[in-house]
Structure 1
Amino acid sequence: MRLLLAALASLAALVAASPAGPLPTGPLPARMADTGGGTQLITAEAPALGSTTGTVTWWDRRGGRWTAAGSAPARFGANGLADGATRRQGTSTTPTGLYGLPYAFGIKARPATAYPYVPVTERSWWCQDNASRAYNRWVEGLPADCRAAEAEHLVSYEAQYAHALVVAFNYDRPVRGRGAGIFLHVNGRGATAGCVSVPADAMRRILEWADPARRPHIAVGTRGGPTAITRY
């Protein structure tokens, strides 16, 4: 009898600690608190913070329902993922969170996409110098206050930047030291320095699918815990 009473007490405590109301069900975007307000969404989900691989899925919302338009294996930072609100530059971690996708770019010719597309030239750099006024921005020609050692010469990344989307992490009001140059791009040889990458064919399909008029965002997170993608 004492064992039965103890079991009932444990069950009651578990129920009391559970969230009120039914848990959300359905496709991943339907279980998220925020999808950016548009009718397209990209999710990049990893099993855990320390993971370097996971899945990217792109979604459409039509008639009030989210459906998957495609998916592909994804790669993340060499040191896994980190909370985007506290991430530090140079840690080779992919920032979790929900972000806009302001424009696309690439070394290869413009694909069949409705997205604004900026071609990479020999003068194209992404400034990551914390002391520069151009911090976390594309520049054509390296500014005097942005050191080459603290910038990416985009044309040097022939495979990765064949086609890419800019992820608006730390972009609108950059916090120095938080991180710069986070993209969704084509796979390189292994894990990334903090970006999300997918196979070349998947990147092309994403660009063909993406429509800026439908305000797509990207949500990066884990399957559970404080950085679970369903929190965004």
Structure 2
Amino acid sequence: MIHRRTAVALVASPLLLSGCGGGAEAAPNRPDDSRPAVVPAAGTTATPTPESSTSQASGIPGLGPRTTAAIPEQAEQVVVASGRGENSPLSTVVLYERDDTAWQPGAHWPAHNGRDGWSDHHVAGDLRSPVGVYGLTDAGGLLRDPGSRLPYHQSSGFYSPGTGFEGEPLEGSFDYVVAINYNREPGTSPLDWTRPLGASRGGGIWLHVDHGGPTHACVSVAKAHMKELLRTLDPDRHPVVVMGHADWLAQ
């Protein structure tokens, strides 16, 4: 079901090389390749910009002034995915929550990102995760809602068969997901196929359950940590993810 939203018909889709997942609600006469590139919508910042600067976010360790400037002023929850290196698939995820005086960190969780590391110009199939600051507005999964505060869409379209880059089974990877608002339409199911920047720029970039190896472009953490994120991320606190390798984040 889709909570707090009118249900829509969705079609199951296979794992896509352009990202870790992707979906289905594409209009039959509006292929992504025909859509002109546009400026990302609110919550989908691809590159830090000083116009969105907020001094309230300055206390997050590891984030430099340029990256900090991209965090929307209203954001009170920030998931930081810090990669070990530009070409590394290994990263760490920390959820920061802002109180009246400072950003308070949660636990540090080991994570995977794209097999070939990170990119500041992600394209479909490059096996790199896009760096940037992106909204987190929608969730879903193969399993029933564990108590998500974000709108949650349960669907068989989240089934993930096959094996990963290191031969590990992918089954269960999409038991729980949070859509990262890179090249997608916020306010829709993670399975929605709308790509505002066009299909060539990839899509289906999610936070999802770790399968023990690199991803196509997503960020993955353990299943228990995904459940914790779903129960903690609050749309009223305008959560975002800040993601990239450590050197990029420090700029």
- Indicate whether the TM-score tops 0.5: yes
Does the 8 Å contact 1:29/1:66 carry over to 2? Answer: no
Partner secondary structure for residue 156 of structure 1: coil
Whether 1:58 and 2:95 are equivalent positions in the alignment is yes
**Which structure shows the bigger proportion of residues in strand conformation?**
1
The partner residue of 2:137 within 102, 124, 129 is: 102
Whether 1:229 and 2:242 are equivalent positions in the alignment is no
User: How high is the TM-score relative to the length of structure 2?
Assistant: 0.64
Return the alpha-carbon distance in structure 1 between the equivalents of residues 137 and 117 of structure 2.
Answer: 24
Q: Which has the larger radius of gyration?
A: 1
Does the 8 Å contact 1:41/1:58 carry over to 2? Answer: yes
Does the 8 Å contact 1:46/1:221 carry over to 2? Answer: yes
The residue that corresponds to 1:46 in the other structure is: 83
Does the 8 Å contact 2:62/2:246 carry over to 1? Answer: no
The residue that corresponds to 2:243 in the other structure is: 220
Q: Deviations over 1:106-159 (max 9, x none)?
A: 1111012211100012xx3xxxxxxxxxxxxxxxxxxxxxxxxxxxxx323541
Q: Alpha-carbon deviation of 1:35?
A: 1.9
Return the alpha-carbon distance in structure 2 between the equivalents of residues 113 and 70 of structure 1.
Answer: 19
The residue that corresponds to 2:104 in the other structure is: 67
The residue that corresponds to 2:159 in the other structure is: 155
Q: Report 1:83-122 matches (<5 A).
A: 83=120, 86-121=121-156
Return the alpha-carbon distance in structure 1 between the equivalents of residues 58 and 152 of structure 2.
Answer: 36
> Structure 1: which 5+ residue stretches go unaligned?
1-23, 125-153
The residue that corresponds to 1:164 in the other structure is: 177
Return the alpha-carbon distance in structure 1 between the equivalents of residues 150 and 220 of structure 2.
Answer: 18
Q: Alpha-carbon deviation of 1:29?
A: 7.4
The partner residue of 1:189 within 183, 205, 212 is: 212
Return the alpha-carbon distance in structure 2 between the equivalents of residues 90 and 54 of structure 1.
Answer: 20
Does the 8 Å contact 1:30/1:66 carry over to 2? Answer: no
C-alpha RMSD of the superposition: 1.9
Count of aligned pairs: 172
User: How high is the TM-score relative to the length of structure 1?
Assistant: 0.69
Does the 8 Å contact 1:112/1:207 carry over to 2? Answer: yes
Return the alpha-carbon distance in structure 1 between the equivalents of residues 148 and 123 of structure 2.
Answer: 33
Return the alpha-carbon distance in structure 2 between the equivalents of residues 209 and 68 of structure 1.
Answer: 13
Partner secondary structure for residue 28 of structure 1: coil
- Counting aligned pairs with the same residue, the percent is 28
2:91 alignment partner AA = G
2:197 alignment partner AA = P
Does the 8 Å contact 2:97/2:105 carry over to 1? Answer: yes
Q: Alpha-carbon deviation of 1:54?
A: 1.3
Q: Alpha-carbon deviation of 1:196?
A: 0.3
Q: Alpha-carbon deviation of 1:222?
A: 1.7
1:176 alignment partner AA = A
The residue that corresponds to 2:61 in the other structure is: 28
Q: Report 1:11-26 matches (<5 A).
A: 26=59
Does the 8 Å contact 1:185/1:197 carry over to 2? Answer: yes
> Structure 2: which 5+ residue stretches go unaligned?
1-56, 162-170, 186-195
